[in-house]
């Protein structure tokens, strides 16, 4: 797999794997087209080569085809931003290369790849049936670059393949973060999904100077001290691992846990010290003192890696911690990098997106890359 700039042939049929897994509002409008807009340079480049582009993406995690997750919902938006009429193909298995060649349109949009079993089952036969449609393959779906799915793991083995400008940018920036030398380095992790976040914390234990924890993952760590957290969410299965991390000898990083929490107690929001939670209380955000402590470290950091909400952001009252931490990062002089599903949703709401130095389109893929785990796509990337 080579960088897309090396692809110069004209009039080819290009199969383009992107990740347009976006959310829609009730009227069908796309809530945030960030992931789409980041792939436009590659599409424009291909159009300049007079390619016919077959766009392939997934949306959601369908067990079977459902209209809510059909990619036809993307068609209007794509037509508008690209100023091109797009043909939608419900079943790519019934079209042929010869027909595609003769189409007056430059862009064909395929139905949700995950409507076809072979995609998630990583079937070579499925990848072959896709490959039949095109001359070359372009991979531009960073957020699934860690998935062992047919369009990631198999297609590059079949077709002459390139990676797009977005992949190049993601890898360049995330590599830079992995090799960052200027300290202090601060990792700020919240949310849940311990399975992907604990390896990141482990990897940075001897690289970062500070690891600040909020959200549900912080509760796992607080639980290792036997702290009463009432009804607050935490994961029993990860408390042991949290304990191991805390007890790791000679680690460089200081792990900083919340010292107070914003809780819901008898239906009211309260700021509570750690040892003050009743068995019916629910901790939904980091507390005021914690915010101040985190802010101070943020203001002195050279590099900040941020992922995961500090609290239950779906309720405005408990989005305060996350908002303030984002604001502090935005106002700091540090090199700041962020990514993640919910993280990006709240970041958009703050209007501070432009203040971050790099925003990855990957959640899991970014976390794996920054945990120094090779992505599924990495083995194909030769230069």
Residues binding ligand ADP (CB under 6 A): 190-193, 215-216, 233, 283-284, 307-309, 311-314, 340-343, 363
- Count the helix, strand and coil residues of the chain and give each as a percent rounded to the nearest 5: 45, 20, 40
With CB atoms as reference, the residue minimizing the distance to ligand ADP is 191
Indicate which of Mg ion, ligand ADP, none lies near residue 215 (CB less than 5 to 8 Å, by partner kind): ligand ADP
The residue whose two tokens read 């990848």 is 127
What residues make contact with Mg ion under the rule CB under 5 A? 341-342
Identity of the residue, 58 or 193, whose beta carbon is nearer to ligand ADP in the bound complex: 193
Taking the complex as a whole, how short is the minimal distance between the CB of residue 338 and ligand ADP, in angstroms?
9
Report phi then psi at 256, rounded to 5. Answer: -115, 115
Length of the chain: 383
H-type alpha helices, 103-235? 117-120, 124-131, 155-158, 165-178, 194-204, 215-223
Taking the complex as a whole, how short is the minimal distance between the CB of residue 77 and Mg ion, in angstroms?
23
Is 285 exposed, middle or buried, given 0-12, 13-18 or 19+ CB atoms closer than 10 A? buried
Identity of the residue, 164 or 215, whose beta carbon is nearer to ligand ADP in the bound complex: 215
Cα 172 to Cα 27, 73, 167, 177: the distances in Å are 37, 32, 8, 9
Indicate which of Mg ion, ligand ADP, none lies near residue 364 (CB less than 5 to 8 Å, by partner kind): none
Indicate which of Mg ion, ligand ADP, none lies near residue 307 (CB less than 5 to 8 Å, by partner kind): ligand ADP
In angstroms and rounded to an integer, the radius of gyration of the C-alpha atoms of the chain is 23
Taking the complex as a whole, how short is the minimal distance between the CB of residue 23 and ligand ADP, in angstroms?
12
Please, are residues 310 and 215 in contact by the beta-carbon 8 Å criterion? yes
CA 40 to CA 43: how far, in whole Å? 5
The residue whose two tokens read 């369009």 is 151
Identity of the residue, 241 or 342, whose beta carbon is nearer to Mg ion in the bound complex: 342
Taking the complex as a whole, how short is the minimal distance between the CB of residue 345 and Mg ion, in angstroms?
9
Taking the complex as a whole, how short is the minimal distance between the CB of residue 283 and ligand ADP, in angstroms?
5
Taking the complex as a whole, how short is the minimal distance between the CB of residue 378 and Mg ion, in angstroms?
23
With CB atoms as reference, the residue minimizing the distance to Mg ion is 341
Identity of the residue, 31 or 99, whose beta carbon is nearer to ligand ADP in the bound complex: 31
Indicate which of ligand ADP, Mg ion, none lies near residue 192 (CB less than 5 to 8 Å, by partner kind): ligand ADP
Beta pairing, strands 268-273 & 260-265: antiparallel
Identity of the residue, 49 or 233, whose beta carbon is nearer to ligand ADP in the bound complex: 233
Indicate which of Mg ion, ligand ADP, none lies near residue 343 (CB less than 5 to 8 Å, by partner kind): ligand ADP
Residue 256, token pair as written in the block: 């900083």
The residue whose two tokens read 């985190």 is 294
């Amino acid at each position: 797999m080579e960088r897309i700039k090396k692809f110069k042939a004209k009039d080819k049929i290009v199969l383009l794997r992107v990740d347009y897994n976006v959310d829609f509002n009730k009227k069908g409008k796309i809530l945030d087209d960030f992931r789409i807009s980041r792939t436009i340079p590659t599409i424009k480049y291909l159009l300049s080569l007079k390619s016919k582009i077959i766009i392939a993406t997934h949306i959601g995690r369908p067990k079977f085809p459902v209209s809510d997750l059909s990619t036809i919902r993307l068609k209007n938006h794509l037509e508008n931003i690209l100023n091109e009429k797009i043909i939608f193909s419900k079943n790519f298995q019934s079209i042929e290369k010869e027909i595609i060649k003769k189409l007056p349109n430059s862009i064909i949009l395929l139905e949700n790849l995950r409507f076809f079993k072979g995609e998630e089952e990583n079937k070579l036969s499925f990848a072959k049936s896709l490959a039949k449609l095109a001359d070359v393959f372009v991979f531009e779906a960073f957020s699934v670059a860690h998935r062992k799915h047919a369009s990631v793991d198999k297609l590059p083995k079949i077709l002459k393949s390139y990676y797009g400008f977005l992949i190049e940018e993601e890898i360049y920036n995330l590599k830079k973060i992995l090799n960052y030398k200027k300290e202090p380095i601060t990792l700020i992790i919240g949310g849940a999904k311990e399975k992907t976040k604990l390896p990141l914390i482990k990897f940075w234990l001897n690289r970062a100077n500070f690891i600040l924890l909020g959200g549900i993952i912080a509760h796992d760590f607080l639980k290792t001290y036997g702290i009463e957290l009432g009804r607050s969410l935490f994961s029993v299965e990860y408390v042991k691992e949290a304990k191991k991390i805390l007890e790791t000898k000679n680690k460089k990083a200081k792990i900083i846990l919340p010292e107070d929490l914003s809780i819901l107690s008898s239906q009211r929001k309260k700021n509570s010290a750690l040892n003050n939670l009743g068995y019916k209380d629910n901790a939904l955000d980091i507390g005021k003192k914690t915010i101040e402590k985190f802010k101070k470290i943020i203001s002195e950091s050279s590099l900040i890696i941020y992922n995961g909400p500090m609290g239950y952001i779906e309720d405005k009252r408990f989005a305060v911690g996350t908002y303030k931490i984002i604001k502090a990062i935005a106002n700091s002089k540090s090199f700041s990098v962020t990514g993640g599903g919910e993280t990006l949703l709240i970041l958009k709401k703050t209007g501070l997106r432009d203040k971050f130095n790099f925003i990855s389109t990957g959640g899991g893929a970014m976390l794996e890359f920054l945990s120094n785990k090779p992505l599924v796509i990495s083995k194909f990337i030769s230069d």
